Amino acid sequence: MLFSRLTCLLTILLLTVVSGTANAAPADEYVYDAVHSSVSFKARHLDISWIHGRFNEVDGRFSIDREDPSKSSFQLTIKADSVDTANAARDEHLRQPDYFDTKQFPTIEFRSKKVKAIEGGYEVTGDFTMHGVTREITIRLMGGKEIESRGVRRVGFSTELRLKRSDYKFDPSAIGPIGDEAIVIIDCEGMSK
Amino acid sequence: MPDLWLLTSSFFASAICAAAACFAALPRSGRTGSGTGAGPQLAAVGGFAVGVLAGMATQGIAPALPPASGLDRWLLIAIPLLLVVDAACFAALFRQQTRLLRLAAAATAAPVILFGSVHLQVTPELTLLPGLTLGGLLTVMAACGTLAAVTMLADRGSEVSMVWRASGSLLVLQAAGMTVMLGGWIRGGAAALPFSGSCAGILLCGLTLRQPATAAVINRWACWSLSGVVLLGHFFGRLSLLQSGLLIFGAVLPPLVPLPNGLKSGRIRLVVCCLLTLVTLATVLVPAVVDFFVRMRPLLSATAADFIEARHAQILVV
């Protein structure tokens, strides 16, 4: 009698565990595809036009839980040394301590803390670290459509954020002809096997 | 583009404040040229500190708290530490081993400047500690060794008078700041001015009051400041290893170069010393100026000058 009750209880427990595991679909993991992505920026010059640049070395990974978006996460690491404004002298100048100080602060990073699904994408709140200063920012990652191409699953996102250099303790004397505000444009694809 | 008026003001503000503070701190007997003991040297160290603060305030250099960059750490940690140790040595708080203490304090500037930077993470496959690799350790040791060598050489006796040696170091310090600025790091190079201004102010004060002891202090401080500016310029700016070596040793070696017996008179030695210093400076400065005009100047003029023109045009339109 006792044995049959115990067997029954164990069966129920086992079934519960198995069904729970089957319901919790794991989040999809993606790595940043450097070939089909770009992180670029533009800043005002003399308040009349824009100077454009990009970062050539970027790494990142995303974890997307379609059923429970709050469990998703996004990470992006940009090598500040890879700044490219199509002018070698200006790039060298930008790497120096008056600007990015790349020998002291080699990376620019974003680490998500909170993800919320919105129409057409996700609203992601996280820590953005640049020039040794970390600030919480919220970005709207638009996209998220997934396709499979040549056996590789791909997902794409786009966002645009506005940052003030003065918020990140850039040398105030270096803010003048080049505007304080920079617009960062991120278009990225993630790959998953 | 650097603001020349601001830089000149910073130099003179630090020189005037350093000289005034040194004069005020000199023992009364010292003002008539008969001061003995550590009083004049302590006054020189105190005056130097006041002058540097005045120069930095004039330029608006305010290091971040907590210090984040190499320049912040040098200004907030390495320099105050050196000031305290140097003053303590003069005040006879440490009666023995003062030379060793100064060497240790000077060498400390290297890891302080390099802390947290990519230079401690070279050859990442040989990681010793988090944030420190074997390559990084060797880099720090080389920088520490350079600073210790400069401190030793700055104190070594020579037939060239300390006033001339301090003047030479001061000149090289100015040149180092200028080279760092020409390389594109304006704030880093400009940071040399409060130091050179203070050295100049105290040197003049010491000469006026006939206090030769202050010249030795100033020579050492000019060499320490120079080493700091050069290390910063090399590791964070665009100062090459050759430029750095020439600047650092161009300040301390010329008075110590051995000369043949026939050329050992004081005057000839002084001429040789001045020539060597000037040749070293020319070797560093001429390529730096050429590089600036070829590469940086078009870039800077296309920002600063155009900005002024555009503003002017806007005002005219309005």
% of chain A beyond a pLDDT of 70:
84
Q: Which helix (H) or strand (E) holds B6?
A: helix B4-25
From the list A46, A89, A104, the residue facing B306 with the nearest CB is: A46
Question: What DSSP line would sit under B184-195, residue for residue?
Answer: T-HHHHHTHHHH
Which amino acid is residue B283, in one-letter code?
T
Reduced to 3 states (helix: H, G, I; strand: E, B; else coil), residue A134 is strand
Task: Please give the Cα distance from B211 to B205 (Å, whole number).
Answer: 8
Q: Could you tell me how many CB contacts below 8 A there are between chain A and chain B?
A: 74
| Pairwise CA distance, residues B89 & B98, whole Å | 6
Omega of the bond leading into B66 within 30 degrees of 0 (cis): yes
Calpha distance A135→A21 (Å, rounded): 37
Contact A87 B299 (CB under 8 A): yes
pTM (predicted TM-score) = 0.83
Q: What is the CA B129 to chain-centroid distance, rounded?
A: 31
ipTM: 0.80
- Closest to A98 measured CA to CA, from A173, A180, A185: A173
Question: Strand pairing of A83-84 and A49-55?
Answer: antiparallel
- Which DSSP state fits A24? S
Residue type, B141: M
Mutate which: B56, B69, B117, B133, vs A, most A CBs within 10 A:
B69
Strand partners, A61: A31, A75
């379609």: which residue's tokens?
A66
Q: Which two tokens stand for residue B116?
A: 């947290």
What is the nearest CA distance from B153 to chain A, expressed in angstroms?
30
Nearest-angstrom CA–CA distance, A157 and A159: 7
Task: Report the residue of B299, B301, B314, B317 to disrupt the A interface, i.e. the one with the largest count of A CBs within 10 Å.
Answer: B299
Residue pair A162/A182 in contact by the 8 Å Cβ criterion: yes
CA–CA separation, B284 vs A48, rounded Å? 38
Closest CA relative to residue A99, chosen from A132, A77, A56, A131: A131
Judged by DSSP in three states, B260 sits in coil
Angle at A158 between CA A157 and CA A164, to 5 degrees: 135
DSSP letters along A130-176, please? ETTEEEEEEEEEEEEEEEEETTEEEEEEEEEEEEEGGGGT--GGG-S
How many angstroms separate the CA atoms of B163 and B208, rounded?
12
Q: Which helix (H) or strand (E) holds A160?
A: strand A152-164
Give the nearest chain A residue to B294 (CA atoms). Answer: A89
- The per-residue pLDDT for range A131-155, each reduced to its tens digit, is 999 999 999 999 888 888 888 899 9
pLDDT, one tens digit per residue, over B95-104 is 667 888 888 8
Residues 6+ apart with CB under 8 A from A98: A171, A173, A174, B184, B185, B186, B187, B188
Find out whether B40 and B27 touch, Cβ atoms under 8 Å.
yes
Residue B66 to residue B55: CA distance in whole angstroms? 21
Q: pLDDT 10s per residue in chain B (318 long)? A: 667 888 899 999 999 999 999 888 887 655 554 445 677 888 888 999 999 999 999 988 888 888 989 999 999 999 999 999 888 887 766 666 788 888 888 899 999 999 989 888 877 777 777 777 888 888 888 988 888 888 888 878 777 777 888 888 889 999 999 999 988 888 889 999 999 999 999 988 888 887 777 888 888 899 999 999 999 999 999 899 999 999 988 888 877 777 777 666 777 778 888 888 899 889 999 999 988 888 776 666 555 545 444 444 444 443
Please count the residues of chain A. Answer: 193
B67 → chain A, closest CA residue: A132
Per-residue confidence (pLDDT) for residue A3, from 0 to 100: 52
Under DSSP, the state recorded for B206 is H
